[in-house]
Amino acid sequence: MNTADGTTGFSTEDLQSLQTTVERFAKRAIAPHVPEWEEAGQFDRSLYTQAAELGLLGLGYPEHLGGTPAPWRARNMLSQTLARYGGSGGVMASLFSLNIGLPPVMAHGSAELQAEVVPPVLRGERIAALAITESGGGSDVAGLRTTARADGADYVIDGEKVFIITSGLRADWITLAVRTDAASKGASGISMVVVPGDTPGITRTRLHKMGWHSSDTAQLRFDGVRVPQRYRLG
């Protein structure tokens, strides 16, 4: 069967089987633990590998990167079933932050960069996050002030991302919106750069929220963070 987004072979039976898998996973691996995770301010990191082993993290990603091509209705069904039986929007947000961190890499990353970044995330071994919002106003993306200055073969990044970066405390890959042309105004001169989470110069501060405590969220500071220019997307 061909679907609107070009994926093949996802039958009604496949959807039902996926729904059963997700329901069992949510009832067994998530719902009973939510109170303790809310208290701890994060969920067990092993949840990523458990979700990966069931193919949930890779749903909708290409096979050559370790994913399972799937139509949007399968991904919607995953979200609805987790919401119905998992009992925590916060766990869902952090567990699936790859689905905001990776799309820019899939859309604009080179084949080499995709091969480096994506498979370990789909295996649940690495965590991906997206960092766009700044204190000046998340809606006003064109006003962002974090800069990436070209220096030899690298970019040197300075700035701050706040309110709020989902999976920000634990992310191994941060897909970061920066201004590569410091003199530019508005949307022109903005680029996305993938930053390894262990790069020197990154400071992470836990953000205390009113709810969704089990979703790890952080403010991120970048002070002279140096990444190779090949990590720029597009």
Ligand X SMILES: Cc1cc2nc3c(=O)[nH]c(=O)nc-3n(C[C@H](O)[C@H](O)[C@H](O)COP(=O)(O)OP(=O)(O)OC[C@H]3O[C@@H](n4cnc5c(N)ncnc54)[C@H](O)[C@@H]3O)c2cc1C
Contacts with ligand X by CB under 6 A lie at: 100, 129-133, 137-140, 163-166
Shortest distance, CB of residue 7 to ligand X, whole angstroms?
26
Which residues, in sequence order, are bridge partners of residue 233? 192
For 155-171, letters b (16+ CB in 10 Å) and e give bbbbbbbbebbbbbbbb
**Of the two residues 140 and 223, which places its CB atom closer to ligand X in the complex?**
140
Taking the C-alpha atoms of residue 51 and residue 123, their distance in angstroms, rounded to an integer, is 9
Non-local CB neighbours of 12 within 8 Å, separated by 6+ positions: none
**Of the two residues 54 and 142, which places its CB atom closer to ligand X in the complex?**
142
Closest CA to 14 of 52, 48, 59, 47: 59
**Of the two residues 74 and 227, which places its CB atom closer to ligand X in the complex?**
227
Shortest distance, CB of residue 164 to ligand X, whole angstroms?
5
**Of the two residues 42 and 133, which places its CB atom closer to ligand X in the complex?**
133
Shortest distance, CB of residue 24 to ligand X, whole angstroms?
27
Which residues, in sequence order, are bridge partners of residue 155? 150, 227
Comparing every residue's Cβ against ligand X, the nearest one is 138
Shortest distance, CB of residue 69 to ligand X, whole angstroms?
25
